[in-house]
């Protein structure tokens, strides 16, 4: 996908998950969890091609340094904010909850149900 397609898809669907080749990931199971210190939050009015390209380029570099095929680029829109992050996919529910809490997340994404699981605070 090119940057414009990524932005358009993200706006239409409130987000997208990509691999380092900028291919959309359509996982049917497991849970997506953002990794601490690899998340950037901006107001939605800053969501443009220049900023998106820069963040995706930086995230690909970080994923290559991390060296795992289980790291993904996440973009999601919530509460008039755009979130860019590096996430991992965990198959087991209990393990996903544990890793989400360890990474100080407020929620994880359930791929099968296509919805957030929000942690109680």
Range 64-69 average pLDDT:
86
pLDDT band at 78 (very low <50, low <70, confident <90, very high): confident
User: What is the predicted pLDDT for the residue at 121?
Assistant: 59
How wide is the angle at C-alpha 66 spanned by C-alphas 24 and 16, nearest 5°? 20
CB-CB contact of 108 with 32 (8 Å): yes
Contact yes or no for 77/10 (Cβ under 8 A): yes
User: Mean pLDDT score of the chain, rounded to an integer?
Assistant: 92
Question: Which H helix or E strand runs over 91?
Answer: none
- Annotated domain spans of the chain: 3-118
- What pLDDT shows up at residue 52? 95
Sheet of 115-118: strands edge to edge?
A: 15-18, 71-78, 81-90, 31-43, 107-110, 115-118
pLDDT at 81 over 90: yes
Region for 69 from its dihedrals, namely left if φ exceeds 0, alpha if ψ lies in -120 to 50, beta otherwise: alpha
Among 101, 119, 113, 114, residue whose Cα is nearest residue 34: 101
* Global pTM value: 0.88
**Mean of pLDDT values over 53-72:** 92
Report how far Cα 99 is from the mean position of its chain's Cα atoms: 15
């Amino acid at each position: 996908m090119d940057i414009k397609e990524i932005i358009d898809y993200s706006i239409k669907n409130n987000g997208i998950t990509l691999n380092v080749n900028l291919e959309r990931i359509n996982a049917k199971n497991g849970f997506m969890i953002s990794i601490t210190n690899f998340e950037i939050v901006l107001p939605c009015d800053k969501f443009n091609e220049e900023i998106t390209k820069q963040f995706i380029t930086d995230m690909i570099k970080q994923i290559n340094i991390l060296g795992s095929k289980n790291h993904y680029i996440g973009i999601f829109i919530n509460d008039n904010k755009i979130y860019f992050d590096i996430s991992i996919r965990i198959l087991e529910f209990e393990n996903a909850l544990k890793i989400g809490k360890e990474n100080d997340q407020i929620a994880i994404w359930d791929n099968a149900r296509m919805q957030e699981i929000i942690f109680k605070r």
